[in-house]
């Protein structure tokens, strides 16, 4: 188990904060091609130029381009689909996180927004599963397949090729509940090679077979008995997974662990290390930089809340590089690559919700 972090050798630099309407505030942010899609609950998706050039925005001075409130609001997450087959950057997939009960029920729809004109986004389609709602997405862009974590419904694969319009229920390819009935509540997914990795709040980290959107039982699962699982990221042959809130099985254990797993393409993930962060209750979001060098996770619930950064020079045993504390907590965080620099975009928790932008280029080396 990793020791508490020593003083970092680099300090992330705050470059901007952007106030967000407090109707819940921010859940996720998706950044690509210098555009930031801020998922701001009942304020909808707010689109900012942070370096794309269409409105002259930069990470230090984001410029609002437009916004859209999808049907039902409750906007949680998004993915801007760059289709390598057609060359289009037309569709934004938006997850609606409706009411639910942790571990047993969820609701909400997956919405499709046409953003071919970023200044005038339009909702064009939706995907609905009765009795369940989506959380985080992962896109197989070359295969034109969207993989969605669907809480109590497990994992869903959706065909998103060609033109999308109206009810997309016929586009569903396959669904799997990795932990089985009563033991499935999937938070996040990521496809790497021929495997799909799913982190389930109840049943832990799974490796599933995934071929053209069709699932097969793989390995793992039932391997985080003391805490809820949260987000995941796969890189360098390892998976990095967060933990959330108070445990479902062990009284008094909180979600202050970032777990490190060695991956085998044919076997179950093997736990090799854990990072325990003092003064928090939740590790919410996890991401590795595109070059595989820097691990970032966001934390909530206590005096240690904020952004944390670790070197992956040894991917099995991350080494602390730096932190940026935010007193109210950071719900989610993602990297953005703009003008040769690396930025962290984070969602400051209510009250007073903000998009927080850090320059972390010095840490990513």
State residue 173's pLDDT score: 98
Q: Would you state the CATH architecture of domain 13-26+120-363?
A: 7 Propeller (2.130)
Burial class (CB within 10 angstroms; exposed 0-12, middle 13-18, buried 19+) of 192: middle
| Digitized pLDDT (tens) for each residue of the chain, 365 residues in all | 434 455 556 789 999 999 999 988 999 999 999 999 999 999 999 999 999 999 999 999 999 999 999 999 999 999 999 999 999 999 999 999 999 999 999 999 999 999 999 999 999 999 999 999 999 999 999 999 999 999 999 999 999 999 999 999 999 999 999 999 999 999 999 999 899 999 999 999 999 999 999 999 989 999 999 999 999 999 999 999 999 997 766 778 999 999 999 998 778 999 999 999 999 999 999 999 999 999 999 999 999 999 999 999 999 999 999 999 999 999 999 999 999 999 999 999 887 899 999 999 999 98
State residue 177's pLDDT score: 98
- Kindly list the domain boundaries of the chain, sorted by start residue: 13-26+120-363
How many other C-beta atoms can be found within 10 angstroms of the C-beta atom of residue 162? 11
Report the distance separating Cα 307 and Cα 49, nearest Å.
23
Which residue in the block uniquely carries the two structure tokens 């039982």?
217
pTM of the model: 0.96
Torsion of CA 113, 117, 118, 123, to 10 degrees: -20
State residue 4's pLDDT score: 47
* Angle at alpha carbon of residue 62, lines to 60 and 65, rounded to 5°: 165
State residue 315's pLDDT score: 98
Contacts of 242 (CB under 8 A, 6+ apart): 199, 229, 230, 231, 232, 255, 257, 258, 259, 282, 283, 284, 285, 286, 297
């Amino acid at each position: 188990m990793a020791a508490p972090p020593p003083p970092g050798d680099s300090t992330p630099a705050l470059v901007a904060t952007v106030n967000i309407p407090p109707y819940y505030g921010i859940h996720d942010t998706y950044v690509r091609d210098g555009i930031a899609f801020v998922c701001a609950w009942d304020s909808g998706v707010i689109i900012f130029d942070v370096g794309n050039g269409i409105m002259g925005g930069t990470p230090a001075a984001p410029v609002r381009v437009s916004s859209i409130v999808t049907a039902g609001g409750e906007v949680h997450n998004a993915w801007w689909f760059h289709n390598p087959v057609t060359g289009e950057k037309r569709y934004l997939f938006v997850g609606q996180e409706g009411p639910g009960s942790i571990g047993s029920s969820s609701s909400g729809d997956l919405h499709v927004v046409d953003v071919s004109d970023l200044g005038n986004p339009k909702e064009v389609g939706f995907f609905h599963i009765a009795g369940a709602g989506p959380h985080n997405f992962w896109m197989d862009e070359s295969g034109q397949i969207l993989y969605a974590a669907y809480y109590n419904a497990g994992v869903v694969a959706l065909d998103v090729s060609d033109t999308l319009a109206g009810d997309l229920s016929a586009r569903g390819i396959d669904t799997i509940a990795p932990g089985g009935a009563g033991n499935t509540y999937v938070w996040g997914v990521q496809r790497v090679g021929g495997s799909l990795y799913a982190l389930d709040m109840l049943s832990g980290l799974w490796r599933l077979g995934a071929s053209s959107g069709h699932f097969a039982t793989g390995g793992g699962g039932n391997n985080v008995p003391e805490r809820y699982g949260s987000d995941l990221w796969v890189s360098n042959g390892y998976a990095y997974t967060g933990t959330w809130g108070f445990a479902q099985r062990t009284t008094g254990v909180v979600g202050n662990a970032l777990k490190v797993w060695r991956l085998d393409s044919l076997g179950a993930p093997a736990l090799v290390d854990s990072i325990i962060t003092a003064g928090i209750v939740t590790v919410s979001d996890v991401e590795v930089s595109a070059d595989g060098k820097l691990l970032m996770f966001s934390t909530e619930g206590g005096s240690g809340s904020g952004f944390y950064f670790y070197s992956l020079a040894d991917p099995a045993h991350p080494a602390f590089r730096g932190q940026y504390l935010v007193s109210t907590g950071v719900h989610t965080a993602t990297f953005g690559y703009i003008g040769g620099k690396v930025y962290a975009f984070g969602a400051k928790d209510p009250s007073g919700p903000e998009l927080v932008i850090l320059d972390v280029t010095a840490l990513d080396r």
